[in-house]
Structure 1
Amino acid sequence: MQILDGKALAQKIEEKVSSGAKEFKSLTGRVPGLAVILVGHDPASQAYVGMKKKACDRAGFYSVTHEMPDDISQDAIIKTIEMMNQNPNIDGILIQLPLPSHIDTTKILEVVAPTKDVDGFHPYNVGRLTTGLDGFVPCTPLGVMELLAEYNIDVKGKNCCVVGASNIVGKPMASLLLNANATVEICHIFTDDLKKHTLAADIILVGAGVINLIKEDMVKEGAAVIDIGINRAPDGRLVGDVDYDAVAPKTSYITPVPGGVGPMTIAMLLSNTLKAAKIHAEEEK
C-alpha cells in the first residue's frame, strides 16, 4: 500500500507555476490575476478563500476578493462579474460556492467569461471537457488526474468507479477518466447496491461528502482508492469519505485526508490561472 502524497506534489506544481509567473511577468510586464467572489460568512468558504489568497501570494499572483453580504442581489453580483470580465488585470474569476439560496448559481456561473472560468464550471468549458477538447477543467478532478500521473497509475482500460455525481467533482471526474480511456461507472445517491459497483472497481474515486461511506468490505484487494471527500467529524477532525484505517491495508494506493486531493485543488487553480493569463496575453498580441 502506497500513500499518494498530494501535499508534496502540490508544492512541486506551485513552484513550477511560480517560475511560470515570473517568466510571464518578464514577457508581459504584469503578473497573473485572480478575483474571488465570496458571498456571505460561511466559515468553510472563508477558510478556503483565505487558503487561495495565500497560495496566490506564494506564486506571485495578483489577487482580489470581493466580499459581499448574504442578502446581496443577484444583479449586483452579475455587475461585479461583468466588471471583472472587462478588467485586463484579472485572468481568472472564481465564484466561491455555495451561494445563498436566493441566488441562481447556474446563471451566475454563466456570466463568467469562458476564458476567465478557471474553475471550469461554465457550460462552454463543460462541453469542451466532455468532447475531449482543450479548455478549463474543474480543479479537484484535474488535481486527481495529476496525482494519478505522478504515481504512474495508468487508468487506460481500468474499471473506475466514481462515487458522487456532482457538477463540481463527479461528472468532470468521469469525463476526464473517459477521455483517458478508462471504463467508467458513476454511482450516486439513487444507485442500488453501491457495494456491488465498488467491489468490481480497480480504482474507486469517491466525493460524496459522507463520512466512512466506503468501508473495508466494499473494496477489492489491490484496488486504488482516491478519497475526494472532506468532512468535519464530530470530534473536530477533518476526514474523508473512506474508512481509512480499515480500507488502507487492502489497497495498492490510497489518498489520505487531509493531505491527499485537497492541496491539489489549490495547485490546479494556480495552474489554470497561469494558463488563462497566457491565453489573454496571446489575444492581446
Structure 2
Amino acid sequence: MVTEHAMDTEGARIIDGKSIAAAVRGEVAQRVAELVARGIQPGLDVVLVGDDPASQVYVRNKDRAATRAGFRVRTHRLSAVTSQAELEALVDRLNADDEVDGILVQLPLPRGLDSDAVVRRLDPAKDVDGLHPFNVARLWMDRPGLVPCTPAGCIEMLDRSGIEIAGKRAVVLGRSLLVGKPIAALLLARNATVTICHSRTPDPAAVCREAQILVAAVGRPELVRGDWIAPGATVLDVGINRVETADGAGRLVGDVHFEEAHARAGWVTPVPGGVGPMTIAMLLSNTATAAANRRGRTSA
C-alpha cells in the first residue's frame, strides 16, 4: 500500500519528506494556537555567531518556518569575533528569560569557540536541538525528552510511511553525535536490531547489505551504491553534499547514489526533498513540546 506521503513510481517508493514536513508543521501550528489560546506565547530564540553562508540560510529558513507556525521568534546575530564569555553570557540570559521556551545555537561555531561548553550551558528544558548531555542521557535511557531534530525526523518519516521498525535489522552508516548515534538510539527504542558502521568498519558494504532499514549519514557524496543495498530495503539518506557540475552550477546529492538505490530499494528518500525538510519541522515540534512542558501544560 502506498501512503499519502509516498510517491508510487517504477522502482522504489519515494518517501516525500516535503509532504511529511508540511503535515508536521501544520500539526505544530495547531498546538501553538492552542497554547496561545491559553495565554502562552511559545518563544524560540536562535543564536547565530559569525557570517557562515550556509548557517545564514539555515537560520533564515528556521525563522520563517517558526514565525509561520505562530512562534515568537528572535534571532541574536553575533560577530565572528564574539568571545566565549560573551556567548555564554547571552545563553545565561536566555536561560533565565521565562518568555524563551526554546534556544537554538546554530552550529558550527566560528573557530576558537567551544561549542561543547555552550551546549552544556543550555537549560536542558530549552535545548530544542536535543544536544545537552541531560537530553542525550534521557534518549539512551528511553525516557521522554527533547530529541535531536534530524534523527527524530527520520523516525517520523518511517512512521508516517507505514514502515515497520520493530524486529527489523537496521544499519546506521555514521556515528556522529548529531545523527548517527541518536538515530541508533531511537531505532533501538523501537525494537530494531541496530548496527553502526563507521570509518573503521571492515567492509561496510557487506554490513549495509544486511540492512532492512539503512540510514546513511556520513557526508560523503554518493558513497552508498546500489550493490550496498538489500533488495526491498528502506533507505534514509541524511547526507546533503554539493558536487561540481560541468556548467559550474553544482548540484546537491546525498550519501546514497539515488538512481542505483531507486532501482534496488523498496523505499528511498531523495536529496533534496527527503530528510532535509524534516529537520526544521521537528525543531518546531520540539519547541512546542518545550513550551508545553516548561509552562506546566500538556499538548497533544
Shorter-chain TM-score range: over 0.9
Equivalent position to 1:153, from 160, 163, 166: 163
Equivalent position to 1:15, from 18, 26, 31: 26
Equivalent position to 2:154, from 144, 147, 157: 144
Q: Tell me what 1:245 maps to.
A: 259
Q: Tell me what 2:5 maps to.
A: none
Offset, 1:168: 0.4
What does 1:1-285 align with in structure 2 at a 5 Å threshold? 1-27=12-38, 29-235=39-245, 236-282=250-296
- Structure 2 Cα separation of the partners of residues 107 and 98 of structure 1: 13
Off by >3 Å, runs of 4+ in structure 1: none
> How many residues matched?
282
- Structure 2 Cα separation of the partners of residues 154 and 246 of structure 1: 23
Structure 2 regions of 5+ residues with no counterpart? 1-11
Offset, 1:110: 0.4
- Structure 1 Cα separation of the partners of residues 200 and 115 of structure 2: 24
Secondary structure of the structure 2 residue equivalent to 1:94: strand
Offset, 1:30: 3.4
**Matched AA of 1:111:** R
Secondary structure of the structure 2 residue equivalent to 1:282: coil
**Matched AA of 2:256:** V
Offset, 1:101: 2.4
- Structure 2 Cα separation of the partners of residues 212 and 20 of structure 1: 38
- Percent identity for Structure 1 against Structure 2: 45
Q: Tell me what 2:7 maps to.
A: none
- Structure 1 Cα separation of the partners of residues 220 and 194 of structure 2: 21
**Matched AA of 1:7:** K
- Structure 2 Cα separation of the partners of residues 31 and 248 of structure 1: 44
- Structure 2 Cα separation of the partners of residues 181 and 43 of structure 1: 40
**TM-score, normalised to structure 2's length?**
0.92
- Structure 1 Cα separation of the partners of residues 236 and 151 of structure 2: 11
Structure 1 regions of 5+ residues with no counterpart? none
**Matched AA of 2:24:** I
- Structure 1 Cα separation of the partners of residues 187 and 282 of structure 2: 17
- Structure 2 Cα separation of the partners of residues 255 and 66 of structure 1: 33
Q: Which deviates more, 144-153 or 189-198?
A: 189-198
**Matched AA of 1:2:** R
**Matched AA of 2:178:** I
**Matched AA of 1:118:** V
- Structure 2 Cα separation of the partners of residues 17 and 218 of structure 1: 37
Secondary structure of the structure 1 residue equivalent to 2:55: helix
**Matched AA of 2:204:** L
- Structure 1 Cα separation of the partners of residues 75 and 201 of structure 2: 39
Secondary structure of the structure 2 residue equivalent to 1:93: strand
After superposition, the C-alpha distances for 1:99-139 in whole angstroms (9 at most, x for unaligned) are 12211111100011000001000000000000100111000
After superposition, the C-alpha distances for 1:158-209 in whole angstroms (9 at most, x for unaligned) are 1111001100000000000001010000011221111111011111101111
RMSD, aligned α-carbons: 0.9
